[in-house]
Structure 1
């Protein structure tokens, strides 16, 4: 490697045409936002071209990328999808003068995903078939039962049981030899529609300085993106063109199509555009819903709340439960889920320490067979992480009636109220304090008119009293948390493995879970998405549209990402340069030099490391183990 670079530098110094390696080095420096002084110095000593030369090379590469995306979109044998997102950055003026002020630069960035000929069946994007199905207006007759019947409960039980098994095997060292078996179960028994691990072909489009919240500007941006993929009002391919975005972008596209529906030109009316609700933002809002539902009150002593477990292991409370930080939030939720699953395994094996129990079994060579563990995992899924189990905990936990659920779940000790603790008096949580407050309250006047409770209020009070006598609210809440978090992790695992069918099954359930939360807009989004794909799309079209929801950047198994997450990654790179350069999103430097080359510049950093033997370095910190947290949560 040293010899190659030395010869390349010598040739570059003597011959202006021998510049491939120096140019690659210059693009690598440009991609890492190296200071311009480095370019000036390196060009003087003959190791790479000057900054102006690299600038012009990137301009030419950007123009060729634009031609490539236009040719790919105009080819009737190939298909493509556009994913876009709003982007903004605060531009601060360092040298204030009249007419120069700090402002927010707003734009829209997009990426075109190209699918080669043969990726999908021919005529899968037939727009005439879509129109015929929409003309039937079958959505007018659907009801709640229609969406309930779409849920594949058998499949959810299968992948849920595998997840219970995976949790045990992951945290018990004596069972690590079974990890390959669990992976095989996901790929066979739990698989529905897995994408092949092939690198996706991406074309980053030029940004536009528009605001998606302004209808006219969004329309102009959509026409601009269509033009960049070779489509115009006078010359366009009459087929379905998917356009994906987050929840707000999806809503704006639906509104825009509704406003333009009477335009006679099928292109100008956006009749060929297919709005798609992207998955990462949906998963993010679902995880925020889990936090908002199960976090609990501050300083709560309820062990079923997520907040109680978080404080036990020293984690900080989220600043906003309605919009949590996704990756730290997912790590905490799934960690608490694993701890509670392990505790349920402990009860199933009838031991006080699940980790020591398996160490002892391993010593005596009596580890249970995988078939036994699979059967137990399915049973644990049914009794601890389903809606039916939730209602059993509410109504049958303390009743004398024997059911399969009551036989499987140990009965806990009865709640005796808050113990007297002088240190809790300042928080109002002491029994003594509560009794004193009750004694000082004035009794209601006898002549005052007492409002009679309504029939619904009476029924609600009777139900609460019944639950108090026969139910276990803490257990029910913990079951609800495990049920919701199992679905959240199943969706994340399915995305990473590229199984779009598994993700689709979880989204059908999220339609109902969102309905009981503050994220009510996603109920509308999922209603429209599910109705469109299930009633107004042929099966080949539905499968094809689902297969366009994931991207694989490196072509490796387990390396799939939602399209909107990749677009967020490109936006982060773009916004950093915009803020650093102080340019608008519609500036020629951002449009021609940066935005079109974003994907290539992100890849050249990886390729440069690989070329000099640094491919084994991941470029990120390894995830530390969570054994101490698991031990603390198991002992609480």
Structure 2
């Protein structure tokens, strides 16, 4: 029998001739034999296949094999076979089962890829941005060093792309502080460009480049169990915004509109020291002080030019474009190095802000109509009773400012005049009119509305009186209408209420605000005639809220104030919470019993209390008797207010009322109007403001400025009131005709 020789088939991809294929002679077995050897070789394992690749295919090492496997022919002819090309493409494109992510993890986590500590040069090469990759022998540090340089190059490219000027017209990143006319179409900063929020900038940077945002988040965001958390104090997104903005300025000095320019203007407004501005400018956090000043000058000049254009157009139509709010300003300039002619100086002046008049009827500021009303002298017939009867208690919200309206304001240049002096006020008004672009020859029939504090109002009225005989209408200020500003009106009302209800500093009267302030550890005003507005308003508001809650406790039948929350929590558990209509009905009862004129009369007379209806009658309670043997409570000493008057008030014989209750009712009623006014002003409810001012004029006897405010606000704002109230709003209350309907004592009864 002839022996049969079967050559071994070369593995795929092997080079012909690299090694000789062994020939294995196979001798046929006789057919008479009962067994026959298998012709197919046994299946090789993966590890045997790898060994064949490394030993039988002619590669010197694994590196040569991988270099050949992932060969990039570039622009030359591709020497690879179609199967070779398809296999590599499937792996690199993620079409195979084993993907690149699996391979990188195996290489990075392989124990042989990490250098030992004795090879310090290899250990320190991990994540190195400078060590040549050819000098890094181990796979793990080489892989990290390559990734570091790749990420660095990508960050450089992306930061440059963000810092580059965008074609988006809404982008403010490259706004200019001023224009030198060397570049056409340069966008100059406006006031709208200075408005920003940290959250808005964070969203903008995140949407612009998520990769950069992720890197900066890794720098500063804390993590808990691998998840990013946001802290309440110093949230990381604010730090990211503060870091990315200097990065952009470092690459492009004109990319300062996002954060650096607004912060530069903020430092100017805060009067930061020049060295502070320089340091932050060097850090890239803000623009230079010169750039901030140029931006302010450009924005002010542009807005002032727009104001003059509007004034010119309004004058042609015979209308008023804006009103003015003036106030005095002071700045102390101390001398740190004294010398001849150098001394501390208090710089004074007058500032003005123009407020654009919107939603006004045509002819609302017509001077002829105003003079015609003045000539009628109808104000002489106005009394406190007229004002009280004209109060619109329900108020139907018919005179509310449009909630979507944003009133534009524009400050003009501050001058160095003293507004409280007659001549200084005259020069002040003329200067502000000139800056606003008012033409004196075309405004004889246009009213000019000026607002300020009480001193400014008094000076303007005195100025008009002195110049009444001047034939020139403009120079006599005949068309100037002066009204007190609302904030000053609130302050005057607050001072009046504090003077009536605080009482002596060590008062034992439970209704006095001094006793409540001591119990709440709140500061008591030193001068009750001129209180510090914000601390006093916060203190009185807190006391008023506490007393109103106590009244609600009585209405709801709850034993103590601490149980109010528990009471409503129990109602919520059984799904029996009162409806809004029920709460409003309770509120009406509360007002009638504890914050009305009827309740005040009941507290002063037992007869009136007995004859009152069940709805408005104050429930009788047992008087509280303290422990007579207990020592009196310690009251912290406080400076006595000026002009305090007698500390004790002795009731008239036969008085059977409750003075403590009456004082409490008066405080709830009077300060309740102040609280309502405090809500009505920011809500733009002009009608409600007018009604509260009428109540204050009739009840509390505020100074003349509130009466003037009633007249002039009617002329210029409330032209849509009912016709029967037309004559009442158009004139003010004469000081001699104002009567006090109620006067709280605020003292301890003896």
User: Which of the five TM-score ranges fits, normalised by the shorter chain?
Assistant: 0.5 to 0.7
Aligned to 2:95: none
Partners of 2:283 and 2:547 in 1: how far apart? 62
Change beyond 3 A, Cα 1:263–1:132: same
Aligned partner of 1:205 among 394, 398, 412: 412
Secondary structure of 2:506's partner?
Answer: coil
Aligned to 2:747: none
Aligned to 2:255: 21
Secondary structure of 1:21's partner?
Answer: coil
Aligned to 2:654: 466
Aligned to 2:586: 376
Change beyond 3 A, Cα 1:48–1:336: closer
Are 1:413 and 2:622 matched, yes or no? Answer: yes
Partners of 1:204 and 1:36 in 2: how far apart? 25
Partners of 1:93 and 1:505 in 2: how far apart? 51
- Distance apart, 1:328 and its partner CA: 2.8
- Distance apart, 1:299 and its partner CA: 2.5
Secondary structure of 1:104's partner?
Answer: strand
TM-score normalized by the length of structure 2: 0.56
Contact 2:364 2:716 in 1 (8 A): no
Aligned partner of 1:268 among 457, 475, 480: 475
1:433-582 → structure 2 map (5 Å cutoff): 464-467=652-655, 469=656, 471-515=657-701, 522-532=702-712, 540=719
CA displacement 1:551-573 (0-9 Å, x = unmatched) = xxxxxxxxxxxxxxxxxxxxxxx
- Distance apart, 1:465 and its partner CA: 2.6
Change beyond 3 A, Cα 1:392–1:274: same
Aligned to 1:149: 389
- Which one is further off, 483-492 or 418-427? 418-427
Aligned partner of 2:353 among 84, 107, 111: 111
Secondary structure of 2:256's partner?
Answer: helix
**Structure with greater helix share of residues:** 1
Aligned to 2:39: none
Partners of 1:147 and 1:242 in 2: how far apart? 24
Aligned to 1:519: none
Aligned to 2:343: 101
Are 1:259 and 2:466 matched, yes or no? Answer: yes
Contact 1:232 1:267 in 2 (8 A): no
- Distance apart, 1:211 and its partner CA: 0.6
Partners of 2:174 and 2:579 in 1: how far apart? 66
- Distance apart, 1:44 and its partner CA: 7.6
- Distance apart, 1:305 and its partner CA: 1.6
Aligned to 2:377: 137
- Distance apart, 1:112 and its partner CA: 1.0
CA displacement 1:359-410 (0-9 Å, x = unmatched) = 22222222222222211111111111012211111113x7783421687322
- Which one is further off, 103-112 or 27-36? 27-36
Contact 2:483 2:705 in 1 (8 A): no
Contact 1:26 1:39 in 2 (8 A): no
- Distance apart, 1:41 and its partner CA: 6.7
Partners of 1:426 and 1:333 in 2: how far apart? 19
Q: Supply the RMSD in Å over aligned alpha carbons.
A: 3.6
Quick one: higher RCO (CA 8 Å, sep 6+), 1 or 2?
1
- Distance apart, 1:488 and its partner CA: 0.6
- Distance apart, 1:55 and its partner CA: 3.7
- Distance apart, 1:341 and its partner CA: 1.6
Secondary structure of 2:584's partner?
Answer: helix
Secondary structure of 1:75's partner?
Answer: helix
Contact 1:511 1:526 in 2 (8 A): yes
Contact 1:233 1:265 in 2 (8 A): no
- Distance apart, 1:102 and its partner CA: 0.7
- Distance apart, 1:146 and its partner CA: 2.1
Aligned partner of 2:508 among 298, 301, 318: 301
- Distance apart, 1:147 and its partner CA: 2.1
CA displacement 1:415-436 (0-9 Å, x = unmatched) = 8799455558999xxxxxxxxx
Aligned partner of 2:523 among 302, 306, 316: 316
Gap regions ≥5 residues in structure 2: 1-157, 167-172, 184-251, 637-648, 723-750
CA displacement 1:438-466 (0-9 Å, x = unmatched) = xxxxxxxxxxxxxxxxxxxxxx99x8233
Aligned to 1:91: 333
- Which one is further off, 75-84 or 218-227? 75-84
Change beyond 3 A, Cα 1:23–1:36: farther
Are 1:218 and 2:397 matched, yes or no? Answer: no
- Which one is further off, 350-359 or 128-137? 350-359
Gap regions ≥5 residues in structure 1: 156-188, 428-459, 516-521, 544-636
- Distance apart, 1:101 and its partner CA: 0.9
Secondary structure of 1:22's partner?
Answer: coil
Q: What is the aligned length?
A: 463
TM-score normalized by the length of structure 1: 0.65
- Distance apart, 1:500 and its partner CA: 1.0
Secondary structure of 1:151's partner?
Answer: coil
